[in-house]
A and B are shown apart, each in its own frame.
With several copies, the nearest count.
Chain A
Amino acid sequence: MATLLDDAFAKAKKEDRCALIAYVVAGDPDMETTRAVLDAVVEAGADIIELGVPYGDPLADGPTIAAAGQRALAAGATLENIFRLIPGTKAPVVLFTYVNPVLQYGVEKFALAAKRHGAVGVIVPDVSLEELEPIREAIRKNGLIMPLLISPTTPDERAKKITQTSEGFNYIVSRLGVTGKDAVDVEGLKDHAARVRRMTGFPIAAGFGISKAPQIVAIRDSVDGVIVGSALVEAYASQKGAAAAAAGASRLVRLLRLACKRAAPAAAGAKG
């Protein structure tokens, strides 16, 4: 199934753009809205969906996504009904979940259910390389892949190890800190991407802090994909009702998707 992801990156590459990966918090503010948002986002051009499992103590997330998670939990989101969002989603779905819900559900059982519902992979941000093996084994056994994260502070040797272990793509963290909409150091990010690029042939996608078209324009030549989370959550969370939320999300994704398209060589100034 990992080929679904490969296909998505391949398609974007063919269209000379970086892939757009849309992060949506499952169940925020309710499952109906998420359903509508997912459909709208895919319709608007998102290549891949990162479906966030809400968690009360999300160490890697900034206030926007943390609050979205709180709303989802308050509305009663459970893994069971989160899984049910996957089958109807017309793009490859990678689950994004903190490790504790997975451990508590049972790693095997989790992987099995995710797979059965059609997920292609799972990102578990708080499982470091050192803790990875037993979990990864259970996940892989059930035919799911695990993309791993690489931070700007990850030393080279470790980064190499991560790229060798990561599947589907390499999730490069665009900056120190957490998800959110604060400024990203574009030059630093490009260096970081270039460093990882030298280590791996797999696609590279950048996330954490990517929220605006100009940022994407600035980095789209350096990466194979961009992940947009907090900005997307804001785009739908500020709306009332599922339809409006879907429209808000759609508007943003359309805009960002345009930015993903690499410019014709003549306009290559943006590359520098």
Chain B
Amino acid sequence: MHKPDERGYFGDFGGRWVPEVLVAPLAEVEKAMNEAFGDPTYWEEFHALLSEYVGRPSALTVAHRFGQPRNATIAFKREDLNHTGAHKINNTIGQALLAKRMGKQRLIAETGAGQHGVAVATIGAKLGIPVDVYMGAVDVERQALNVYLMRLLGATVHPVTGGTQTLKDATNEAFRVWAAQCEDTFYVIGSVVGAHPYPFMVREFQRIVCDDGRIQSQGRFGRLPTDIVACVGGGSNALGIFTAFIDDDNVNLWGVEAAGKGTNTAETAAPLAVGSVGVLHGSRSFLLQTAEGQVKPTHSISAGLDYPGVGPEHAYLKQSGRAKYVAVTDDEALAAFHACAASEGIIAALESAHALAYAQQLAKERGEEGLIVVCMSGRGDKDVTQIEKLDGKALVAEVTG
């Protein structure tokens, strides 16, 4: 299934589970999206910004030393080379252009660690549209640098003090603000989550990741990959790189969730692995919840994966079996982070390091014909201070020793 049904469902998942105040704004976005998607000039502007501003197509880098010894080939799809250092910008450009088209005067966004917030602030600055970012007060505190970056880019950051004061609460708040101000305001959601049409719309913006990745793989290797590996927070980089391959049954699709301290512990962030079906932020999908239906606090070393829900299309791909989902712990991700830095000269985002960890394992199982493309969803400069605190040095010794 490539498009959700008209109610926004991928199989059993998705939909529009929102208060009535949000129905009209969502319908307005859906209508504008459908018009824009049918308009070649819209896509031209999108692709022009991606190539001239973001620097697309992003490179495909063969990793010669990472994860050796192994037989299979590993290549990285380098979203870390994008302007602002992650795949997030692909999506924010698409939405900001839509907002412009709709005549909206302001962009709002939720952000966790600040990656999406920075990406929205960036395109807001570029297009001259004011940006307000909602961010959990706890996150504001611990991601001070990204907060400052957003301010440099001219955005206003609003600390959210409700709930757990983290990403899910920032998302709640952004929805609330949007409900109140939808007339002149566009809500830029940061992943393939939220109510219809967001999961579909964000995917369509992110599929550029594999649309050019597919071309490159054929040009470079004369064939398609055997395996695609991507980390899954909300799931946008994963769908970005999965989508063009969805009909190629021989291409295995792997989504890697954050196991945190382990999927058998409370400190985890892997809804597809250990969550259950429910409703969060406007759509039906897997989420981590209590027996009472309260959303659980999550944990992952990587802020971008530290989210209790997951995009509905992933729930569908899991159910249909088209994609497989695995989970990687904090420690495994850290080890892969270090191995990649030391063997490939690439400081990966901790999010992407989850995909690396699984790819490393897969590459040992696959034979010579294996061709594993990993989505390097972002660069890890943002994570280095945190990793240094975790005494990276000891880990480097472990990895390389």
**B6 to A, closest residue via Cβ:** A130
Asked if A100 meets B293 with Cβ closer than 8 Å, knowing A60-B19, A176-B21, A177-B21, the reply is yes
Q: In the complex, how many angstroms separate the beta carbon of A179 from the nearest chain B beta carbon?
A: 10
Q: Which residues of B contact A56 (CB under 8 A)?
A: 163-164, 294-295
Among A44-52, A144-152, A243-251, A257-265, the one that faces the other chain is A144-152
- In the complex, A153 has a CB within 8 A of chain B: yes
Asked if A100 meets B289 with Cβ closer than 8 Å, knowing A57-B280, A153-B25, the reply is yes
Q: How far is the CA of A175 from the CA of B19 in the complex (A)?
A: 13
- In the complex, B24 has a CB within 8 A of chain A: yes
- In the complex, A143 has a CB within 8 A of chain B: no
Q: How far is the CA of A79 from the CA of B290 in the complex (A)?
A: 12
- Taking a contact as CB atoms under 8 Å apart, the answer to whether B169 and A125 are in contact is no
* Contact surface of A with B, Cβ cutoff 8 Å: 55-60, 62-63, 66-67, 70, 73, 78-79, 99-105, 125-131, 148-151, 153-155, 158, 162, 173, 175-178
Q: How far is the CA of A162 from the CA of B182 in the complex (A)?
A: 21
**B27 to A, closest residue via Cβ:** A155
Asked if A178 meets B179 with Cβ closer than 8 Å, knowing A56-B163, A104-B292, the reply is yes
- Taking a contact as CB atoms under 8 Å apart, the answer to whether B279 and A55 are in contact is no
**A155 to B, closest residue via Cβ:** B24
- Taking a contact as CB atoms under 8 Å apart, the answer to whether B23 and A60 are in contact is no
Asked if A127 meets B17 with Cβ closer than 8 Å, knowing A57-B172, A101-B293, A104-B291, the reply is yes
From B18, B21, B24, B276, residue with most partner A Cβ within 10 Å: B21
Q: Which residues of A contact B294 (CB under 8 A)?
A: 55-56, 73, 100-101
New contact pairs (9) apart from A104-B290, A162-B20, CB-CB < 8 Å? A57-B172, A60-B21, A104-B292, A130-B15, A131-B16, A153-B25, A154-B20, A176-B179, A177-B181
Asked if A131 meets B17 with Cβ closer than 8 Å, knowing A57-B163, A153-B25, A155-B24, the reply is yes
Q: Which of A100, A128, A162 contacts B280 (CB 8 A)?
A: A100
Q: Jot down 10 A-B pairs with beta carbons below 8 A, ordered by A.
A: A57-B169, A57-B280, A59-B172, A59-B175, A60-B176, A100-B289, A126-B18, A129-B20, A130-B15, A176-B182
Task: Tell me the B268-297 residues at the A interface (CB within 8 Å).
Answer: 276-282, 289-295
- In the complex, B266 has a CB within 8 A of chain A: no
* Contact surface of B with A, Cβ cutoff 8 Å: 7, 15-25, 161-164, 168-169, 172, 175-177, 179-183, 276-282, 289-295
Q: How far is the CA of A59 from the CA of B163 in the complex (A)?
A: 12
Q: How far is the CA of A240 from the CA of B133 in the complex (A)?
A: 36
A-B interface pairs (CB < 8 A), number: 125
Q: In the complex, how many angstroms separate the beta carbon of B186 from the nearest chain A beta carbon?
A: 15
- Taking a contact as CB atoms under 8 Å apart, the answer to whether A103 and B180 are in contact is no
Q: Which residues of B contact A100 (CB under 8 A)?
A: 278-280, 289, 293-295
Q: Which residues of B contact A70 (CB under 8 A)?
A: 162-163
**A54 to B, closest residue via Cβ:** B294
Q: Which residues of B contact A153 (CB under 8 A)?
A: 21, 23-25, 182
- Taking a contact as CB atoms under 8 Å apart, the answer to whether A130 and B280 are in contact is no
- Taking a contact as CB atoms under 8 Å apart, the answer to whether B168 and A59 are in contact is no
Q: How far is the CA of A54 from the CA of B172 in the complex (A)?
A: 15
Q: Which residues of A contact B162 (CB under 8 A)?
A: 63, 66-67, 70
Q: How far is the CA of A123 from the CA of B295 in the complex (A)?
A: 20
Q: Which residues of B contact A58 (CB under 8 A)?
A: 172
Q: Which residues of B contact A127 (CB under 8 A)?
A: 17
Q: In the complex, how many angstroms separate the beta carbon of B7 from the nearest chain A beta carbon?
A: 5
Q: Which of B20, B289, B291, B292 contacts A148 (CB 8 A)?
A: B20
Q: How far is the CA of A154 from the CA of B164 in the complex (A)?
A: 32
- Taking a contact as CB atoms under 8 Å apart, the answer to whether B292 and A177 are in contact is no
Q: Which residues of B contact A59 (CB under 8 A)?
A: 18-19, 22, 172, 175-176, 281-282
Across the A-B interface, the 3 shortest Cβ-Cβ residue pairs: A177-B180, A104-B293, A101-B293
Q: How far is the CA of A40 from the CA of B206 in the complex (A)?
A: 55
Q: In the complex, how many angstroms separate the beta carbon of A31 from the nearest chain B beta carbon?
A: 15
**A103 to B, closest residue via Cβ:** B278
From A67, A100, A101, residue with most partner B Cβ within 10 Å: A100
Asked if A125 meets B19 with Cβ closer than 8 Å, knowing A78-B292, A100-B279, the reply is yes
Q: Which residues of B contact A178 (CB under 8 A)?
A: 21, 176, 179-180
- Taking a contact as CB atoms under 8 Å apart, the answer to whether B179 and A149 are in contact is no
